[in-house]
Amino acid sequence: MKQHDKGGGNGAQAESRGEPQGHGEQASEGAGKLYVVATPIGNLADISARALALLAQADLIAAEDTRNTAHLLAHHGIRAKLVALHEHNEMQRAAELVARMAAGETIALVSDAGTPAISDPGALLVARARAAGIAVCPIPGANAAIAALSAAGLAAPHFLFYGFLPVKPAARRAALEQLRELPYALVFYEAPHRVIECVAALTAVLGGAREIVIARELTKLFETIHLCTLDQAEAWLAADANRQRGEFVLIVSGARAEAQEGLPAEAERVLRLLLAQLPLKQAAALAAAISGARRNELYARALALRNAGEFAGKAPDNG
């Protein structure tokens, strides 16, 4: 560390609460430390005071792209020494950085956005540092998946973070087939130029009745969070080219959320009665109000009934 510090300025406070200082049980004496520092996913203000203090004090910052990190540091008035650590040089760089930490240096690891090692480089350096007995301390902060989940409004107690699906259609389909029966919300990252084909694959394998939250450009100017069913998602994206731009998190409700068997009998009865008279969305909303069952579940069930050919001739749905 450039100046003595026990974790970004709050070490004394933590110590007084009897909390560990992040030294790690097997940390080598005299060794430096590795701080894994989360940085913003868009809005440059989304970084903690502790992270900024550590970035200013570290002997070296290992960054996925030194230009990006230099921009962040300049925004916060921090001058620091940077070295590149990315997927193409992580192996050789890790050895070099571990040697420096073993000699007493403190290194901060950052990626281009969000939390390092989460769909980003860094895991190898962390593993090598831990294996060498260097203390590794996380400095938590932004993460696109968690930000999207926090604002998605899906009543899902459990989720599975998948990250990027395979790019090739056959491999993507195989990966999705393994996820199809899981009763957890599924969280994916996707690139803008693949978002439509990804949504088409999700619909084909998981079925159109599940809900999807399309979380785009989080914390940025054109932040958009859209909830619909999978069979509506492709049309929603295609309706405006801007909806396909930027960075995406896609969250799909879990297998059980379709609730085709789990709907209480009375809710099912009311839904069927209303579907015989009303458009799908209205029928689901009214059935929810009457039965007390969840509107999303009723809507998914109504869609499934319609897709199965029941109530096909009723009034068109405009939602």
Only one of the segments 9-17, 23-31, 83-91, 218-226 lies at the binding site for ligand SAM (rule: CB under 6 A); that segment is 218-226
Cβ-based nearer residue to ligand SAM, 12 or 241: 241
> Under the criterion CB under 6 A, does residue 248 sit at the interface with ligand SAM?
yes
Cβ-based nearer residue to ligand SAM, 21 or 119: 119
> Under the criterion CB under 6 A, does residue 232 sit at the interface with ligand SAM?
no
**Helix locations, 58-191, DSSP H:** 66-75, 90-102, 123-131, 144-152, 169-179
Residue nearest to ligand SAM (CB): 114
* Count of residues touching ligand SAM (by CB under 6 A): 24
User: Binding pattern to ligand SAM, positions 72-111, x when CB under 6 A?
Assistant: ---------------------------------------x
> Under the criterion CB under 6 A, does residue 190 sit at the interface with ligand SAM?
yes
> Under the criterion CB under 6 A, does residue 207 sit at the interface with ligand SAM?
no
Cβ-based nearer residue to ligand SAM, 43 or 178: 43
Distance, in Å, from the CA atom of 206 to the CA atom of 298, rounded to the nearest integer, reads 18
| Buried/exposed code over 59-71 (b: 16+ C-beta within 10 A; e: otherwise) | bbbbbbbbeebbe
Cβ-based nearer residue to ligand SAM, 186 or 274: 186
Distance, in Å, from the CA atom of 254 to the CA atom of 266, rounded to the nearest integer, reads 23
> Please, how many CA atoms are within 13 Å of residue 310, restricted to the half-sphere of its CB?
14
Beta bridge partner(s), residue 152: none
Residue 302 tokens, joined: 């109504």
Cβ-based nearer residue to ligand SAM, 28 or 244: 244
Distance, in Å, from the CA atom of 177 to the CA atom of 181, rounded to the nearest integer, reads 8
Residue of 110, 109, 121 lying closest to 39 (CA atoms): 110
> Under the criterion CB under 6 A, does residue 63 sit at the interface with ligand SAM?
no
Q: What CA–CA distances, in Å, run from 230 to 59, 184, 191, 235?
A: 48, 16, 18, 10
Binding residue (CB under 6 A) for ligand SAM from 90, 105, 120, 234 = 120
Cβ-based nearer residue to ligand SAM, 244 or 282: 244
Question: Nearest distance from residue 79's CB to ligand SAM, in Å?
Answer: 25
Question: Nearest distance from residue 111's CB to ligand SAM, in Å?
Answer: 5
Neighbours of 16 (CB within 10 A): 8
Q: Are 280 and 302 in contact (CB under 8 A)?
A: yes
Only one of the segments 17-25, 213-221, 258-266, 289-297 lies at the binding site for ligand SAM (rule: CB under 6 A); that segment is 213-221
Distance, in Å, from the CA atom of 233 to the CA atom of 215, rounded to the nearest integer, reads 12
Q: Name the residues that contact ligand SAM, by CB under 6 A.
A: 41-42, 111, 113-115, 118-120, 143-145, 189-191, 215-220, 247-249
